[in-house]
Copies of this chain bind each other. A is one copy, B any other.
Amino acid sequence: MKKCNLESEFEHLEGYWSPRIVDQVNDQYVKVAKLKGELTWHKHDDEDELFYVFKGNLKIQYENGEIELGPGDLHVVPRNTMHNPVAEQECWICLIETVTTKHTGDVVSPLTKSLAEQAR
């Protein structure tokens, strides 16, 4: 019977754009990540991706607009939709996504992390 504390997970997390898997519910991973700067334009063909902002602000750019998220905001990026997360200042987020979801979709960027790298 394990539990984790999100604040504590963030405090021990090093580096930006390096999601860390903290738990799993059904076929979804729960991940924490610290963001700063921008990731890369990408999409996940068959998988939605939930963003929950724990601290700071995050902008998610879409091809036809963008959405601004602040602390406590929750937003789901729909599957098969090009997007690019941008954090002007450090931002702490929690992600819920399918266990097979790849960090930057089919795009490989210098920031891409494998699922193995996201495991504890």
Contacts and interface: CB of A to CB of B under 8 A. Distances in A.
Interface string A1-20: 11111111000000000000
A67 interface: yes
A53 B2 CA distance: 14
Interface of A: 1-8, 22-28, 30, 47-50, 52, 62, 65, 67, 69-70, 72-76, 96-98
A19 to B, nearest CB: 15
Nearest to A79: B26
Interface of A is mostly: strand
A78 to B, nearest CB: 9
Contact of A28 (B7, B8, B26, B74): B26
